[in-house]
Each structure stands twice: as C-alpha cells, then as structure tokens.
C-alpha cells in the first residue's frame, strides 16, 4: 500500500477504533442476497456476540484507504471533529465548530460534500461486506456442509448398526428360549428311548427264553 494510503488508513483506525473501547455487537448470520446459505447454522451459532476486532479494523482501514477521495471530504471533517473532543462542547456545538473550522481550512462551503463523500465510503464498506458474506456462505458450504454430510452418513450407519444389533438381540433371545425348551425335550426323548430300549430288551428276553426253553424240552422229551 502506498505511504499516502497507509497514513490515511492509520487515521481511519484512529477515527473508528482508538477513540472508544470496543462495544459488543450481537451478530445474526445473514445469507447473501443471491440466496440462503447452503448450510444451516447450528442453534449455538444462531446469535453470537462480537466486538471490534483489530484484524477487521485493519481490513476496513485498508478498504477505505483505497477509496480515499481527492480533496477535503468527510474524513478530513471527522479528523477536525475529533480534534475538538477535548474542549467539552456538547455534540451540536462540536459539530458546528468542526464545520466552521473545516470550511476555513478546506475551502468547502457545501455540507453535501460531507454527506456525499460519506455515502461513497459507506458504499465501499457495503460492497466489502457483500463480498465477505459470500465468502462466509462458501466456507459454510465447504466446511460445515461437509461436516453435516459426514454427520448424516454416520447417523445412517449408526441407525443401521442399531437395527442389526436389535435383530441379533432378538435372535439371541429366541435361541435362548429354544435352548431352554430343547433341554426339556432332550430329557423327555431320552427317557422315552430308554424306556423303549428296556421294554425291547425285556420282550426280547421273554421270547428268547421261551424258545430256548422249548429247545431244551425238545432235547429232553423227544429222544
């Protein structure tokens, strides 16, 4: 930045930053005029409290320095106004005194010079704000939007895993119920099979003993 712009920027910092301590400012996220921000702010970011920040003050001073108009204008008047702040005048008299001094030193006679040049500086700040808000929207779309997509993906995955866990728990519960029933069925079937085996063996022995008895008697009686 040329020395003249640096000097002017330093004056601007004195006008707007050094005269009074920073005041908190409640800022609500604002969408650009081209459309709403792609990423919605979280509830925690709905309203935040800001204060005058040195890095932004430097930035605005640079913006206004590049917009500095030739000849005496609003900023020279503001410098004159600030120089009278220690005189103890009320606000109206201080403005009137600054205007009288400004006219004498700058050769300006129309108040419109102050308002018109102030409007041009406001336009420069407004244009810078529009560009800043667009950059915020872009950052939200890239960073916050990406995080929200990751959040959605993880939530979907977690929901799917929870469903699988529920299904597995239901299967485990069903298997447990079946296992408890199987234990009783095994005992029941084992008892039946053991009983049938015993009955079979008894019947087999009965038939076998009869036949063997007949064979023995045949050998004894039919010689």
pLDDT score, position 30 = 46
pLDDT score, position 62 = 87
For the chain, the domains span 3-163
CA angle 185, 188, 191 (to 5 degrees): 145
DSSP state of 140: I
Q: How far apart are CA 13 and CA 9, in angstroms?
A: 6
pLDDT score, position 161 = 97
In order along its 223 residues, the chain shows pLDDT tens digits of 555 555 666 666 666 665 444 455 555 444 444 444 444 555 545 577 888 888 888 898 888 888 877 778 888 888 888 888 888 889 999 999 989 988 887 677 889 989 998 999 899 999 999 999 999 888 888 888 889 999 999 999 999 999 999 999 999 999 999 998 998 899 899 999 999 999 999 999 999 999 999 999 998 999 7
pLDDT score, position 67 = 80
pLDDT score, position 34 = 42
Contact predicate 110/74, CB 8 Å:
no
Q: How far apart are CA 186 and CA 173, in angstroms?
A: 20
pLDDT score, position 146 = 87
Nearest Cα to Cα of residue 51 among 76, 21, 80, 75 = 21
Pairing between β-strand 25-27 and β-strand 48-50 as defined by DSSP bridges? antiparallel
Q: How many CB atoms are located within 10 Å of the residue 137 CB?
A: 20
């Amino acid at each position: 930045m040329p020395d003249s712009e640096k000097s002017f920027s330093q004056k601007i910092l004195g006008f707007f930053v050094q005269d009074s301590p920073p005041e908190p400012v409640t800022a609500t996220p604002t969408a650009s005029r081209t459309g709403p921000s792609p990423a919605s702010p979280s509830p925690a970011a709905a309203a935040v409290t800001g204060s005058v920040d040195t890095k932004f003050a430097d930035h605005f001073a640079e913006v206004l320095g590049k917009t500095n108009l030739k000849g005496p204008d609003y900023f020279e008047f503001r410098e004159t106004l600030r120089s009278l702040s220690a005189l103890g005048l009320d606000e109206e008299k201080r403005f009137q005194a600054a205007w009288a001094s400004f006219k004498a030193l700058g050769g300006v006679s129309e108040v419109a010079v102050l308002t018109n040049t102030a409007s041009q500086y406001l336009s420069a700040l407004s244009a810078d704000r529009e560009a800043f808000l667009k950059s915020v929207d872009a950052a939200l779309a890239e960073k916050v939007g990406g995080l929200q997509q990751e959040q959605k993906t993880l939530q979907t995955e977690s929901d799917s895993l929870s469903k699988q866990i529920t299904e597995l728990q239901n299967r485990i519960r069903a298997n447990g119920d079946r296992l408890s029933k199987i234990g009783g069925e095994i005992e029941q079937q084992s008892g039946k099979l053991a009983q049938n085996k015993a009955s079979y063996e008894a019947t087999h022995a009965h038939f076998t003993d009869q036949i063997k008895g007949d064979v023995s008697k045949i050998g004894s009686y039919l010689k």
